[in-house]
Structure 1
Amino acid sequence: MIKRILKVAAINLALLLVLAAAAELLFGTWFSKDPLDQLGLPRSTRTIVSAAPLYAGGGDFVYRRDQWGFRGDVDPAKVSILTIGGSTTNQLYLPEDQTWQQVLERQFRDAGRTDVVVANAGIDGQSTVGHLQALRDWFPHVPGLKPRFVLAYVGINDTQVSGTWVDTLRHHSFNRIVKQKSALFRLSRQITGMVVASRARLRHDAVDYTAAKWTETGAQPVPSGDSNVEQYRQRLKLMADEIHGMGAVPVFVTQTRGDFKKVGGKLMGMVTETGPNGVDQYNALTPYNAATREVCREHGLLCLDLARDLQFGDGDFYDYLHNSPQGAEKIGRWLYSKLAGLV
């Protein structure tokens, strides 16, 4: 009896393995020659994200990446403005219609410019190292993609270039390669459709700004002679060359954070229990914003100086650097005021 049960179990297991192998061969991308299948891009995904713990009015919504890797569902041939950046561009915890890209597109549409389509190619954690890789290995393989402008929202992630897959656009671990190429994993991800909350909070913890304490003094020595700033400058130049090669106009946008502010002309930074405080973050980011301005000035490129020109207030950030819908609304409207006469 036991032998018979084991035999039936073995046959069923073998059938399942055969079916799984067949499914992987038919629907997986193990042997695909599509260049996009060789990249570590989130594509054709739908997950449910909960923003409830992060800001007032936040709830559950569907986060989508289309078959080309863009957020939402975009016809590449209709894209006028392609936006690249890290998590502050992706805006994982904002519904699509509340991202600054959609605010910007609505501003154009309300002005009668229904032809302006803004695409979101932001990837969490990606620096200009990854943006350069995307310009070379991702966007050229998206059929029909010929944007008039490529807007790069850059600076913050370059203060700590990670060198991980988000910058190489290549998965190096076996586990991630399987996740990228496996049809069964893709199916299971679509069925579950849920971003694990504990994982999400590792990078997106809500900050209570009403209870925050502020200081004029940094917790760490002021950095000097950061060699990565010069490397950042070189990458911006290379990005501009790649964007021009696409037939588009490069637009570089400087960045700011929520954990520092100017009060009566004085810099104030948010106090932290450990590590760098807001003043330290300002000191780390400022050379990168300065480098962005310098590169644009030296090479005749368009720079939109958000870090200097746009003032944020209470409720505009839900953590140290990610905007709430209220903050994203400000960014979208400000960008429109700068681009309306150019696009």
Structure 2
Amino acid sequence: MGWFKRQRVRVYGIVIAFFLPFVLEAVLRVQDALPVPQQYVTLNRYIPRRQRENLRRHVYLDEKVFPELPSSFQFSTDSNGFRSRPGTRDKGARGIRVVFIGGSTTEGSLLDDAVTWPAVASTLTEDLVGHGIGVADLNMGVPTTNTRDHVASIAQYVIPRLPDIIVLSVGINDLELHFHPTYNPFRQEAHSSVRFLDWVAGSDFLNHFYLLRLLRLQKDGDVDWSWTGPRVRLDAGDFVRKNRALRAKLPYKKLDVAFFPPPEFEQNLRSIVGEVMANNVRIVLMTETWLFQDVVPPETMSKFWGHETLFKYREGDLDRVLTKYNDVIRKIAREFRLPLVDLERKLPKNVDYFFDEMHFTPLGARKVAEQLAPILADLIRNKNNQASHSL
């Protein structure tokens, strides 16, 4: 091969290498099958993270890890980062806006938009109320968030949406916050800062390029290919599988049940209730529950994956601690005469209701919704009766 021929081949290679990313970018845009990799957005250290707006994720799960769940589901948010039922009606002349606040058990992280308990409760409530009254359900559940976060997020995200009713489900994430070795009631722990890489990953700039989305998704999860384009398989399966195996090997450590809950939990609850009531919004409190208890059958124990770094707490001790958090919620509900959905006392610790120690299956989500819907229906009827009497 002559010198000129070698140079020509080299130029062809450079041209192809230069244009190939643009061709791939164009193909990925036409297929439009890649979701935004970063699901949550962190603005700054004072405002809790929230879900990214306008998400459209069709997720495929590992059926071996999650046999209790559908193999695929739709996860989407509106222009403000709230989940809701597909085609939900917004608040109008005969509509009610209900905001659901909590952690991952509220979000329904591995459930379809239509089968989370906030979505099902909204549908059941519409059926109970009737008269063409719609419920605009806004699901603001975000994993790991606690009452410390909710105090800020209600003012930042919720009150500006002019809700009629707020449903608050808290307890487990506060318990886990207080377990953390960096916990400090003066809010000086590491969670108060935002890492630079988290900020970059959450920025919109990178998400405009589908090729960068693909690289990020390939790193964080599995991407299967087909003629219609790439298919994203959530990596939660690998995470849960590894932590289930690790948890089974860890030793137990004694838990000082008497220490919990610290005063901050009740203080934050009072702040939330005061903030909501000051804005003339009705609030419904919920206790939380899980599968932890003194005696756990082996087949149920095999579902659990949560643990500390080098040990795990006894399931019965954890359950007694959560009861103390729930007692604070009951106390606040009595004091302010608030509606209460007492899941700890009314929802059985049925293995069919949970796919791990605390997150609901579609059946469990429906059972939660059935407890909540009559309370929401009564609040809506009372609100409408008061409005008609004032005319």
Q: How far apart in 2 are the matches of 1:192 and 1:37?
A: 30
| 2:88 pairs with 1:55 | no
Match of 1:263 in 2: none
Deviations 1:299-322 (A, max 9, x none): 333322221122242311110000
SS of the aligned residue for 1:48 comes to strand
Q: How far apart in 1 are the matches of 2:233 and 2:191?
A: 21
| 2:286 pairs with 1:253 | yes
SS of the aligned residue for 1:194 comes to strand
Q: How far apart in 2 are the matches of 1:221 and 1:168?
A: 23
Letter matched to residue 44 of structure 1: N
Match of 1:314 in 2: 351
Instruction: Assess if the C-alpha contact under 8 Å between 1:171 and 1:177 holds in 2.
Output: no
Deviations 1:86-106 (A, max 9, x none): 000001111111111121122
Q: How far apart in 1 are the matches of 2:170 and 2:206?
A: 35
SS of the aligned residue for 1:81 comes to strand
Instruction: Assess if the C-alpha contact under 8 Å between 1:104 and 1:336 holds in 2.
Output: yes
* Backbone CA RMSD of aligned residues: 3.9
Shift of 1:252: 1.1
Q: Report the CA distance shift for 1:201/1:278 in structure 2 as closer, same or farther (over 3 A).
A: farther
Match of 2:154 in 1: 135
Q: How far apart in 1 are the matches of 2:158 and 2:231?
A: 27
- Among residues 265, 270, 277, which one is paired with 1:232 in the alignment? 265
| 2:175 pairs with 1:159 | yes
| 2:56 pairs with 1:46 | yes
Q: Report the CA distance shift for 1:259/1:283 in structure 2 as closer, same or farther (over 3 A).
A: same
Letter matched to residue 175 of structure 1: L
Match of 2:332 in 1: 295
| 2:363 pairs with 1:326 | yes
Shift of 1:79: 5.1
Shift of 1:110: 2.4
Structure-to-structure mapping, 1:188-227, within 5 angstroms? 188=210, 189=213, 194=232, 196-197=234-235, 199=236, 201-202=238-239, 220-226=254-260
Instruction: Assess if the C-alpha contact under 8 Å between 2:42 and 2:202 holds in 1.
Output: no
- Among residues 80, 89, 94, which one is paired with 1:68 in the alignment? 80
- Among residues 66, 82, 103, which one is paired with 1:86 in the alignment? 103
Letter matched to residue 156 of structure 1: I
Q: How far apart in 2 are the matches of 1:328 and 1:285?
A: 20
Match of 2:377 in 1: 340
Q: Report the CA distance shift for 1:186/1:287 in structure 2 as closer, same or farther (over 3 A).
A: farther
Letter matched to residue 106 of structure 1: T
Instruction: Assess if the C-alpha contact under 8 Å between 1:134 and 1:169 holds in 2.
Output: no
SS of the aligned residue for 1:238 comes to helix
| Unaligned residue ranges in structure 1 (runs of 5+) | 17-34, 213-217, 261-266
SS of the aligned residue for 2:259 comes to coil
Instruction: Assess if the C-alpha contact under 8 Å between 1:71 and 1:120 holds in 2.
Output: yes
Letter matched to residue 83 of structure 2: R
Match of 2:199 in 1: 177
Q: Which has the larger radius of gyration?
A: 2
Instruction: Assess if the C-alpha contact under 8 Å between 1:296 and 1:302 holds in 2.
Output: yes
Length-normalised TM-score, structure 2: 0.66
- Among residues 81, 84, 107, which one is paired with 2:124 in the alignment? 107
Deviations 1:310-336 (A, max 9, x none): 224231111000010011110001111
Q: Report the CA distance shift for 1:61/1:136 in structure 2 as closer, same or farther (over 3 A).
A: same
Letter matched to residue 105 of structure 1: S
Instruction: Assess if the C-alpha contact under 8 Å between 1:90 and 1:122 holds in 2.
Output: yes
Letter matched to residue 97 of structure 1: A
SS of the aligned residue for 2:329 comes to helix
Instruction: Assess if the C-alpha contact under 8 Å between 1:83 and 1:120 holds in 2.
Output: yes
SS of the aligned residue for 1:333 comes to helix
Q: Report the CA distance shift for 1:284/1:186 in structure 2 as closer, same or farther (over 3 A).
A: farther
Question: % of aligned pairs identical?
Answer: 22
Q: How far apart in 2 are the matches of 1:168 and 1:150?
A: 29
| Unaligned residue ranges in structure 2 (runs of 5+) | 1-6, 23-40, 184-188, 215-228, 303-310, 381-391
Q: How far apart in 2 are the matches of 1:79 and 1:269?
A: 41
Instruction: Assess if the C-alpha contact under 8 Å between 1:43 and 1:69 holds in 2.
Output: yes
Number of residue-to-residue matches in the alignment = 303
Q: How far apart in 1 are the matches of 2:77 and 2:270?
A: 29
Instruction: Assess if the C-alpha contact under 8 Å between 2:54 and 2:79 holds in 1.
Output: yes
